[in-house]
Chains A and B, each alone.
Chain A
């Protein structure tokens, strides 16, 4: 079983604005195993960018815990977060964000200037990363503003790979590309996944999300089950890549994040390993313990293509 790379527990993010408080994340619990390609899908304003920024250590949660490779970084200082970004994370943006006047090679090497990696090793790393994204060698000394959109995004992916990150975060990476070019970029992601990379991709397009091993939906700052329309407390990584993810049901309202293996009297699907999804009937606070023989007010929902007991 691959280890858990990303383990976010009950993340809340509240923005203080002049107009008042904005509750952008309302208790998100989510885990991703090494080697998974996960899509986070949601409409605009759903909190997916906030989630992305939090997972990307660009923002810190107002409350909750975030373990990256087992280390809780929710309380890290700005400098410590920068260090995590420099060494353990790779970003791919919708608008590529390359330095226009710098060469392809220089762009790919850029993250390494914020690490201790010796200068002579950087170029070798950048070349390896570029080979991983199928960009022709002729382009390596081109300025990045001389490239096409698809090429630029592949350079950006190479840049995200260059520090050998634990997690690659891609924010609408195909948003600025036409379908054909976008598919090429998605193929690149799929190949990286097959090489064992862990990828979390944010999108609002189902077609893009379909390339991922699994999709996590977010709405109004909470994880959400698209089939039933019910909010979920937690989405836990499957035991094997490609296997069914396990979800924890939610009563509406704030609930403590269940830990993995937490059976107790809560609606724990861990106790029902073969159940892929469970929905909850009833309003806020009516949730009882989940049992195999579903109690009153709780009934298992047929997963798409899965078996239900």
Chain B
């Protein structure tokens, strides 16, 4: 039988039972949709991580301490810079919550005290004005860089040109010198991105302490960040007289974080794959069930075709191609439904997490190819038995079948 005849026979047979065909492939549609939705969501998350993790952040190593006798201070960081090799700079931050007021509005936000190098380490993107400079920090000037989200809450619009305007924190007036894109900063410092003032200004006017919350060690170009991370940790363990290293200090490079996220995602993918696999298996059984019913219903037709000269393999091919086409149609619908689901979930994510606004589900051609391949495979595996059963019918008995 020619391919052309085979496809004609296949589509006319499936067309004869549209609603049953549609219901049968539901299992396949759901299974494939689940796989595609999950892989494109995960792919999207990975992509937005990569894009938010600019080149600069590949150099950044984050240091946090808890319950330490000797806290992180600017002096300690200077020692790190001097003692650990392959370090371009070390920048520290501290933060405080405060109400920031403009002429028209007030907003309670977390204010980050930052040095000039901080913006390089974080890969912040400037939309207006300038960042905090070394002079601002040394002189503890009352200048402030606002995140776009804060500009919106204080001045009503993200696009408002507020450079040169005055805002009030407590009783002090600060001059706005720049605006950064809130979503551009690393999600690691989750509270950052709202507003930045020079570190010294924050320490003198808001916290009254030289203790730092966090330090970012910026590894040199070409340096092995893992080595730098380990060296930093070893140095700080001694320098801060740590007794319980695992609990008291966290030193983590952005790359480590990304790769641990990656393995988390992989585990998640495997889990989703297993769930989707069960769904596809159930869908496959549905296909087999329908094809068996189909064969029984069309026994006379099979007998007729045999009497007209169809060989066993013509009959096998006819039923096998019906089940394959069913599965592939299910797969294509599943890909579409899955992608739409991923978009919808992505949209929900951006509603709840504005910093993920650049999120878009990423569908890979590999995922599509694998999905279609899996569908063909299901069609063959679950269609083979009914098709073989049809081909093995005795033409005489098939023609006599009532």
Contacts and interface: CB of A to CB of B under 8 A. Distances in A.
A82 interface: yes
Contacts of B305: 110, 114
Interface string A256-269: 00000000000000
Nearest to B312: A78
Contacts of B307: 56, 58, 85, 91
Q: Is the interface of A mostly helix, strand, loop or mixed?
A: helix
Contacts of A87: 309
A59 B396 contact: yes
Interface residues of B, number: 23
A79 B306 CA distance: 10
Interface stretch (B1-9, B75-83, B253-261): B1-9
A240 interface: no
A102 interface: yes
A19 interface: no
A101 B12 contact: yes
B312 A79 contact: yes
Contacts of B314: 82, 114
Interface string A77-109: 011001101110001010001010110000000
B16 interface: yes
Given A79-B312, A93-B399, A111-B309, A119 B2 contact: yes
A286 B313 CA distance: 51
Nearest to B16: A101
Contact of A111 (B2, B12, B308, B313): B308
Given A79-B311, A101-B16, A102-B12, A113 B5 contact: yes
A111 B308 CA distance: 5
B310 interface: yes
A274 interface: no
Interface in B12-40: 12, 16
Nearest to A91: B307
B394 to A, nearest CB: 8
B85 to A, nearest CB: 77
Contacts of A115: 309
Kindly name the residue among A85, A87, A101, A115 whose own CB sees the greatest number of chain B CB atoms within 10 A.
Answer: A85
Contacts of B1: 113-114
B12 A82 contact: no
B309 A86 contact: yes
A53 interface: yes
Given A58-B395, A97-B399, A114-B314, A86 B12 contact: no
Interface in A212-270: none
Nearest to A82: B311
A83 B311 contact: yes
Contacts of B301: 99
B306 A113 contact: no
A114 B312 contact: no
Contacts of A59: 395-396
A53 B396 contact: yes
A102 B305 CA distance: 14
A110 B5 CA distance: 10
A21 B313 CA distance: 31
A113 B5 CA distance: 6
Nearest to B310: A114
Contacts of A101: 12, 16
B399 A114 contact: no
B258 to A, nearest CB: 58
B2 A113 contact: yes
A59 B303 CA distance: 12
Contact of B309 (A83, A99, A102): A83
Contacts of A58: 306-307, 395-396, 399
Contacts of A114: 1, 305, 308-311, 314
B337 interface: no
B300 interface: yes
Interface string B295-330: 000001100111111111110000000000000000
A146 B60 CA distance: 78
A83 B307 CA distance: 10
Given A58-B307, A101-B12, A119 B312 contact: no
29 contacts: A58-B307, A58-B395, A58-B396, A58-B399, A79-B312, A79-B313, A82-B306, A82-B309, A82-B311, A82-B314, A83-B311, A85-B307, A86-B308, A86-B310, A91-B308, A93-B304, A93-B399, A97-B300, A97-B399, A99-B304, A101-B12, A101-B16, A110-B305, A110-B308, A114-B1, A114-B308, A114-B309, A115-B309, A119-B2
Interface of B: 1-2, 4-5, 9, 12, 16, 300-301, 304-314, 395-396, 399
| 8 closest cross-chain pairs (CB), A and B | A86-B309, A114-B309, A113-B5, A111-B308, A82-B311, A85-B309, A97-B304, A58-B395
Given A85-B308, A97-B300, A159-B308, 11 more contacts: A56-B307, A59-B396, A79-B312, A83-B311, A97-B399, A99-B304, A101-B12, A101-B16, A110-B305, A114-B310, A114-B311
